[in-house]
Amino acid sequence: MQRIKRNNTNIENDQVDMERPRLEEALDSASIDLGIGLISNISDPARYEHRVLVRSRRRVWTSATHDLASRPAVTLADVLQYPYILLTVDDADTAARRHWGADSERLNVAMRTSSIEALRGLVAYGFGVSVLADLVYRPWSLEGKKIVAVPLQDDIATMDVGLLWPAGRPLSGSARLFRDFLIQACDGV
């Protein structure tokens, strides 16, 4: 942000953190010009123009000693055989259930948490597995326990982070400049 402000001193930019439903409401009501979020979770994508900035594949997270950890790849059906740690922040729970479709009712949810750090710890200690994006993967829990990310054989949606703005509503000059700056800054990432 400092780089764009340095070259464009007349730009005013207020950044506000909000959950996805509130982000969509703010875009629809024109109380914000541009949103950055998980565009793969948008409820009605046709309402918005968008640009993906980061696309992240999803893998199965396990402890280093888990049965699935030594496999070269696993299926979603394999995951159903084990306790599942369900992340509930940023629509991750909704996305997880989408992976299995009608079989999501068979998901053996052992625990729900809104904390990615708690999830890492639970997975690392072997309390369950989870399917999450590489963007938030780290090979160690805070306690120093190993977490393994195993590729999925199934074709599931990536987690896409990007820019959103209402379709058919032109962006202001400063919003357009900021959008273009972010696109250029993230190009090739």
Domains and CATH numbers, the chain: 32-54+160-189 (3.40.190.10), 58-150 (3.40.190.10)
Hey, what's the torsion of the CAs at 118, 121, 127, 131, to 10 degrees? 70
Determine what percent of the chain is predicted with pLDDT higher than 70: 92
Q: What is the pLDDT of residues 128-149, one digit of tens each?
A: 999 999 999 999 999 999 999 9
Distances (CA, A) of 125 to 65, 88, 140, 173: 9, 19, 11, 50
Q: Rounded mean pLDDT of 170-185?
A: 88
